[in-house]
Structure 1
């Protein structure tokens, strides 16, 4: 099976306490390499500069086309404090190009404005199953390049699944957590994933299914949401079962957090994800709306 991923590669400087780590990343890398763990072919639509080690993608057998830019790679400074983090945009690469493709699913996860409205529309027209993480559509920067979220009018037609947290949801819809999930569903989305720290909820039709990740010491949270999104998408495409997809996604996020690794090193192997998914499957709670 094949997954097409639309997102920028990045070079991140991650600060945890007094320690700094320079890592390659971006949703492009986290989502792409996670999908490879599930034996998916990956077509990556991205842009990166001469400062990015493209051999990393080649080594992981990730396909990319017309991705090289004369501009340097998108770069963030990320400061992490427990489950909270702040971002500063230090460089922004070109917007990505689009080519029609025949993937089983499409995952759109911009990190900062790299997916234009026109490209997003073309992706939606071509996709059989489209998962959206809207973070990069919602982000803006202030004069000091600090990244913040801003209310955005997103066209969510033809989006099958979305992942949002409370802060992101408030930039798209209004209301309580439940009301925001329902409002997103009313825009035509079949699977609304809502992550609030360790609590993960999924709205399907008139039911909310939820799991709670064990509350343990958190080290580096960078990319955990991307690992979650990619795992959910791959499981849905393979198994056609949203409950297993929820449990696999939660299992992948939990494995990544428990690894205590920084950056891409935290992407878990499929085996430990399956073990965690089986654990969560027996603990899923649900309630009617």
Structure 2
């Protein structure tokens, strides 16, 4: 099975408790490596500069073409405080180029405006199952290059699944958590995922399914949403079961958090994800809307 992934690679300087850790990352890496754990072939559409260790992608057998740029790799400075984090954009690489590809699923997870409207439209036209994490479409920078979110008229036609947090949702639609999920569903999206720290919800038709991640000490939250999205996408394609997909996504996020590792080292192994998924499956809650 094959996942087509659209996102920038990144070089992150992560600050936790006044200690700095320079890590390679970006949704390209977090989503891609997680998909490889699910035994998916990964076709990565990205851009990175000469400062990025492309051998890392090759070692994980992540395929990429036309990815190299003369510009330096997109770079963030990330400050972690518990489950909260702030981002500062230090560099931005070129826009991603589009090539038509036959894949079982497409995952679009920009980190900062690397996907143009035209490329996004072409991806939607070609995809069989498309999951979107809109974070990079919504991000802007202030006068000090701090990343902020801004309202946008994002065309979500042709999208099968979306993952948002409450702050991102408010930039696309209005209302309470339930109202935001319903508003996104009305745009034609079959699976609406809302992650609110430890609380995870999924709207399908007229029901909301939910799981709660155990409330344990959190160290580095970078990439958790990417790991979550990739696990959901891969499980949906393999199992065609949205409840298992929700549980595997939550199980992957929980395993990554419990590892207490920094950066890409937190990406969990498939066995650990499966154990957590079984745990969550027995604790699933649902309610009608």
Deviation at 1:156, TM superposition (A): 0.3
CA distance in 2, matches of 1:17, 1:77: 14
Deviation at 1:36, TM superposition (A): 0.2
Map Cα deviations across residues 180-219 of structure 1 (whole Å, 9 max, x no partner): 0000000000000000010000000000000000000000
In structure 2, the partner of 1:115 is 115
Deviation at 1:83, TM superposition (A): 0.3
In structure 1, the partner of 2:144 is 144
Deviation at 1:114, TM superposition (A): 0.1
With structure 1 as the length reference, what TM-score do the two structures score?
1.00
In structure 1, the partner of 2:42 is 42
CA distance in 2, matches of 1:281, 1:109: 26
In structure 2, the partner of 1:268 is 268
In structure 1, the partner of 2:87 is 87
CA distance in 2, matches of 1:18, 1:137: 30
Counterparts of residues 1-289 of structure 1 (less than 5 Å): 1-289=1-289
Deviation at 1:18, TM superposition (A): 1.6
Deviation at 1:143, TM superposition (A): 1.3
CA distance in 2, matches of 1:17, 1:211: 30
Map Cα deviations across residues 140-191 of structure 1 (whole Å, 9 max, x no partner): 0011100000000000000000000000000000001100000000000000
CA distance in 1, matches of 2:113, 2:246: 28
| DSSP-derived class of the 2:107 partner | strand
With structure 2 as the length reference, what TM-score do the two structures score?
1.00
| DSSP-derived class of the 1:111 partner | coil
| DSSP-derived class of the 1:208 partner | strand
Which contiguous aligned blocks of 4+ residues in structure 1 show a shift greater than 6 angstroms? none
| DSSP-derived class of the 2:251 partner | helix
Deviation at 1:39, TM superposition (A): 0.2
| DSSP-derived class of the 2:70 partner | coil
- Say how many residue pairs are matched: 289
CA distance in 2, matches of 1:57, 1:197: 29
Q: Which runs of 5+ in 2 are unaligned?
A: none
| DSSP-derived class of the 1:4 partner | strand
Deviation at 1:271, TM superposition (A): 0.1
CA RMSD of aligned residues (A): 0.3
CA distance in 1, matches of 2:76, 2:182: 33
Deviation at 1:264, TM superposition (A): 0.2
Deviation at 1:44, TM superposition (A): 0.1
CA distance in 2, matches of 1:267, 1:148: 26
Map Cα deviations across residues 101-154 of structure 1 (whole Å, 9 max, x no partner): 000000000000000000000000000000000000000001110000000000
Deviation at 1:227, TM superposition (A): 0.1
Deviation at 1:61, TM superposition (A): 0.1
Deviation at 1:27, TM superposition (A): 0.1
| DSSP-derived class of the 1:258 partner | helix
